[in-house]
């Protein structure tokens, strides 16, 4: 069984969804209940996945580890499809995720209200530009990888939930909205949300 260290609603949610898609059992640990989480991950971020004697601390690396290890339809075996799936995961992790992270940084570190709103507006503009890139890739297909949700679609669906926490307007066009709704309606996604809520309330 895997052990997943998480924060409710954070990017660790995508790891849990992928684990359920792979039909893998997982024990959840809410890091809010730990006093020594930095002993596990000195950076203090989630997700962290324990796989036997191995501790993995980076979201994209964790997902690729799981997709390499377990037979699945989310990562093609070879060829252009596999290369695109990996590129999509890295786009989600290294491009979209940092764009949203700016919102959290602004909220926590800028105190002047005018400067804060200006920064929020600029950050939202950058995020909206990235969603248009996603929209273009989704033209003529249901998901980034084609007919079924990929790990990158799941990651993007998790990130898309964060904008509601800030005074910004973030929009997705029709293809993107349809994909995000479909991913968030997946049984594995709903199961993961419920598990986080139950675990955090315990």
Q: Is 145 helix (H, G, I), strand (E, B) or coil?
A: coil
Strand pairing report for 54-56 and 48-51: antiparallel
CB 128 within 8 A of CB 160: no
Domain boundaries, the chain: 2-73+188-201, 79-186
State yes or no: pLDDT of 10 exceeds 90.
yes
| Predicted confidence (pLDDT) per residue in 127-141, tens digit | 999 999 999 999 999
pLDDT value at residue 202: 63
d(CA 10, CA 15): 10
Q: Which helix (H) or strand (E) holds 5?
A: strand 2-6
Confidence of residue 77 (pLDDT cuts 50, 70, 90): confident
Q: Which CATH number does 2-73+188-201 carry? A: 3.40.30.10
- The pLDDT > 70 percentage for the chain reads 99
State yes or no: pLDDT of 2 exceeds 80.
yes
- Within the chain, where are the H helices? 12-21, 37-40, 59-69, 79-91, 97-109, 113-137, 151-160, 174-184, 187-201
- Which CATH topology does 79-186 take? Glutathione S-transferase Yfyf (Class Pi); Chain A, domain 2 (1.20.1050)
| Predicted confidence (pLDDT) per residue in 92-122, tens digit | 999 999 999 999 999 999 999 999 999 999 9
């Amino acid at each position: 069984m895997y052990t997943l260290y998480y924060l409710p609603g954070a990017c660790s949610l995508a790891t849990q969804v992928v684990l359920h898609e792979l039909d893998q059992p997982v024990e959840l640990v809410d890091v809010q209940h730990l006093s020594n989480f930095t002993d596990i991950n000195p950076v203090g971020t989630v997700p962290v996945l324990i796989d036997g004697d191995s501790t993995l601390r980076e979201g994209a690396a964790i997902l690729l580890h799981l997709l390499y290890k377990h037979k699945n339809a989310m990562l093609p075996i070879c060829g252009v499809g596999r290369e695109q799936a990996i590129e999509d995961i890295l786009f989600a992790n290294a491009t979209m995720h940092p764009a949203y992270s700016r919102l959290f940084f602004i909220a926590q570190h800028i105190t002047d209200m005018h400067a804060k709103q200006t920064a929020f507006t600029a950050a939202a503009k950058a995020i909206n530009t990235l969603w248009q890139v996603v929209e273009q890739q989704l033209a003529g297909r249901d998901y980034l990888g084609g007919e079924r949700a990929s790990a990158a679609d799941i990651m993007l669906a998790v990130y898309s939930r964060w904008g509601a926490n800030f005074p910004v307007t973030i929009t997705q066009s029709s293809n993107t909205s349809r994909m995000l709704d479909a991913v968030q309606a997946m049984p594995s996604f709903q199961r993961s949300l419920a598990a986080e809520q139950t675990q955090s309330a315990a």
